[in-house]
Amino acid sequence: MKKPIIMDCDPGHDDAIALLMALANERLEVRAVTTVGGNQTSAKTLINAMKVLSFAGIHHVPVAAGASKPLVRDLEIAPEVHGDSGLDGPELPEPAFSASPLSALELMEKVISESQVPITLVPTGPLTNIARLLIAAPHLKQKIERISLMGGSAVGGNWTPAAEFNIMVDPEAAEIVFESGIPITMCGLDVTHKAQIFNSEIEEIRQQGGKVAVMVAELLDFFAKFHQEMGFEGSPLHDPCAVAWLIKPELFISQNLHVDIETCGEYTDGATVVDIHGITGKEKQVDVVFDIDREGFIQLLKDSLQCYHQGEVRS
Ligand code: BDR
Ligand code: CA
């Protein structure tokens, strides 16, 4: 049976690729896409998600707008990474369908409560929507199988020396999620900085056939410019790791550990404090992902994009 998931995202170049990977895979069933303010404002991330699905010819998955700001802080966005639209690079037509009349919170509640089997949540942006869901409907926790998220790191940040962007934008939400008791897979910078795609592989994607692959190559061209200026050899495909871990966990190496969220440190605000040596003795609630078979992961991406070209993705 396919694993039912909800993608909660802030597209975002790597979010868009994560969405396309999830929607193409026969092991996953995307029951809803919810969006959140993060890489860009919530108005832009909603439109971006709808544009990506429309371009890929997917009209059966509801897309709902979520939180426009973090639980208690002002929203910080990342136009330097993702551009003014949040998805700069390819020319994407306007969406071919309307957003769900439900809010992200209402749609998640509906999908989870109506499901016969537990749902897996895949957040690839700030955790605001997920925290709001857990606050509003704590009884639904038992129907959430796992949260496979992109965020945090055991060592070092990318937004501050200590904090990764998704957690830094809304640490109070992250704290609620990490203390929820729901099993968590944390694809943080430890693994995503190893999940890089190189220019030669972007060219292979462009040449592999199909308009979705060409669009992904154009997204990656834009994404690569920022990362090359930052000194990376390739571009880290952060968000697709959270999806790939569900499809092919054998590509990854992780350790089950306790993780706390820093919400008030002078230098460490927004950090995920990973108890690598088991010093706190607290419950090990997080599978912290540290390593990846990079080539196997890139092959999974190429195979996913091939499914669009061959008409194998449900519209
Ligand atoms: C995360 O921040 C965003 O810019 C990316 O989409 C990813 O989710 C990486 O720190
Ligand atoms: Ca993201």
Q: Taking residues 158-180, what's their average pLDDT?
A: 98
Confidence of residue 274 (pLDDT cuts 50, 70, 90): very high
Q: Which of 238, 258, 277, 309 is catalytic?
A: 238
244: burial class by Cβ within 10 Å (0-12, 13-18, 19+)? buried
* CB of 153 shorter than 6 A to ligand 1: no
CA of 130 to the centre of ligand 2 (A): 14
Q: What is the mean pLDDT of residues 19-42?
A: 98
Per the annotation, the verdict on 238 as an active-site residue is: yes
Token pair for 300: 């999974």
Cβ of 223 less than 6 Å from ligand 1: no
Q: What distance lies between CA 105 and its chain's CA centroid?
A: 17
Q: Are 196 and 232 in contact (CB under 8 A)?
A: yes
For ion ligand 2, residues whose CB falls within 5 Å: 10, 12, 15, 124-125, 239
Listed in sequence order, the DSSP H helices in the chain are: 13-24, 42-55, 79-82, 104-114, 128-136, 165-169, 171-178, 189-192, 199-207, 211-229, 238-247, 294-309
Mean per-residue pLDDT for 206-216? 97
Q: Give the tens place of pLDDT for each residue, 55-74.
A: 999 999 999 999 999 999 99
pLDDT-derived band at 30, boundaries 50, 70, 90 = very high
Tell me, what's the pLDDT at 315? Answer: 84
Is ligand 1 within 6 A of the CB of residue 218? no
314 has pLDDT over 90: no
> Is the C-beta atom of 34 inside 6 A of ligand 1?
no
Q: State the fold for domain 3-309.
A: Inosine-uridine Nucleoside N-ribohydrolase; Chain A (3.90.245)
Q: What is the pLDDT of residue 91?
A: 96
Domain chopping of the chain, boundaries: 3-309
